[in-house]
């Protein structure tokens, strides 16, 4: 039973100007319930091995529960698999100052997920692969749908976003991204379109083709694009090494 799903107090990263996802069209999506002190909040994540979920390091907490196979998180759907996290592995060089460097974390699950028609893995890119600017990708999550509203959606929502060149973030007005690091970050979301990931979507994947190329990391508090995503391909050696070390 997950009654506490309904009382999540705050969020970390959300989909603005998106739409409801086709139920179970993203088999890899993970809904994370994170307890940090007295607070409970939500993040996204994605299943990259039967017993590992990838997410953002800023989604770390004292206790994390992963829900796989979910669409409506306020209902006890038959498809849901609720698995506690055995141990979180945030990147050793994670820097929580904005923009967050090395904002990536592996979650080792208490037991393996059962892969089926509602739960599956997503591919990771080859190490150091770059996504061409102009590429359309998509992001999904259970985060807020407006900077003006605290209301959180019950169902998974998604939006298509364009990958931009690094200069767009480096030269962002007001210098919000002056510390943007193109080696480990991606600049995503056309400033001309009011579409973005937002609070509650943190840790979810930016999917280009069938590959998780980015992780929702941060963006302006008003929800205006572009946002900054962790560049997954940079961390492939770290992901592989960490998972190999922990496999029984």
Q: How far apart are CA 147 and CA 137, in angstroms?
A: 22
Any catalytic annotation for residue 58? yes
E strand or H helix at 139, and its extent? strand 136-141
Catalytic residue among 24, 71, 202, 217: 202
Cis, peptide link before residue 99, omega less than 30° from 0: yes
Any catalytic annotation for residue 24? no
DSSP SS3 for 240 = helix
Partners of 34 in beta bridges = 41, 64
Catalytic residue among 58, 197, 201, 217: 58
DSSP SS3 for 167 = helix
Q: What is the DSSP string of 101-116?
A: BT--EEEEESS----S
Catalytic residue among 24, 71, 91, 103: 103
Query: Active-site residues: which are they?
Result: 58, 103, 202
């Amino acid at each position: 039973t997950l009654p506490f799903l309904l009382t999540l107090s705050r969020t970390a990263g959300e989909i603005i100007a998106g739409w409801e996802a086709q139920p179970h069209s993203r088999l890899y999506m993970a809904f994370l319930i994170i307890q940090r002190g007295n607070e409970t909040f939500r993040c996204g994540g994605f299943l990259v091995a039967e017993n590992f979920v990838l997410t953002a390091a800023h989604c770390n907490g004292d206790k994390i529960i992963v829900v796989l196979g979910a669409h409506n998180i306020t209902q006890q759907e038959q498809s849901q698999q609720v698995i506690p996290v055995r141990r979180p592995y945030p990147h050793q060089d994670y820097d929580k100052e904005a923009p967050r460097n090395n904002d990536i974390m592996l979650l080792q699950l208490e037991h393996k997920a059962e892969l089926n028609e509602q739960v599956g893995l997503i591919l990771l890119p080859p190490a150091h692969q770059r996504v061409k600017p102009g590429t359309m990708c998509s992001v999904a999550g259970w985060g807020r749908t407006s900077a003006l509203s605290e209301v959180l959606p019950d169902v998974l929502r998604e939006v298509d976003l364009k990958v931009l060149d690094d200069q767009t973030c480096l030269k962002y007005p007001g210098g919000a991204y002056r510390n943007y690091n193109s080696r480990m970050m991606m600049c995503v979301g056309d400033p001309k379109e009011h579409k973005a990931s937002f609070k509650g979507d943190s840790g979810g994947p930016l999917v280009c083709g069938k590959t998780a190329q980015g992780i929702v990391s941060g963006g302006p508090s008003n929800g205006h694009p572009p946002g900054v995503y962790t560049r997954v391909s940079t961390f492939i050696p770290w992901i592989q090494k960490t998972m190999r070390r922990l496999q029984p």
